[in-house]
Structure 1
């Protein structure tokens, strides 16, 4: 990746990094201030399914944006900075709502932070075991997250690197001799 971003100014890299950090902070703040007090029911499931659909649409839009970007690696970093936190807070909100609407769904009461922690530990498959789902609904929701995690990790990784590769090829055809394509040892290299 070093050669892929070597032609990028320090200011451009800094702006992209700050934008990515701002995205993470914004999504996290919105999670903590969102009014999560409506309880669990069919509406909650519909909201989660709708949120996952919006997430899928956002991901497709981001991939197209990466492939058209002047600096695909930087755009990919920004896309991941939005997609991953958004995905995590969707499940965190669902766990938080379930824990408050159906006490005893987890081995301990979940605050927003505990719900986010649980979601992240399931996402990265660490599973410390300090918080565990105890009700059928909590186990079902956790199972859905595990399955979707596998899909998201596989698709996100392959699609983002594929979009970066397309963007680099497109840019190299527009800027012959730019020397900014990835090398053989870099992700997306030949």
Structure 2
């Protein structure tokens, strides 16, 4: 463990904000970057954990933080490129953490995530999957049409691969949800503020 390696680690994770999700290639100019995706996965996983009532929130946060961290070295892959790419994520995670303050703990957590045996790993993987569905809804709200195609194709495969009951319920609700409801139907100036119509 050295300060030099910890600083290098911090610079490396900072680069995740410049690494776009690869499905931007499919005519999606507004796709989120890896940092944005990771942030959202943390929150989705914490919500799923509340419904599942079986997992350590501390472990979930750590696992969600690192679930895509190897991509700082391997890059992201999508459903086409995965057919042709061999990623050495285990080596990447080892090298990312070597001689850092987190070396042993986070390499172990990442391996647990990859094994998908503990409840935390299953919840984080489900959160990772659900974020794609949320992103597709957000893309549609911005005028992109990929959601219609991907929901049909992904729906046949993805739903069966979800580990938790909570994730399966959320997946079904996401299809019916509107990304604008939080501000249009929540408290705002129109329905509870100074712009509200007087009766």
TM-score, normalised with respect to structure 2: 0.29
Structure with the larger RCO, 1 or 2 (CA within 8 Å, 6+ apart): 1
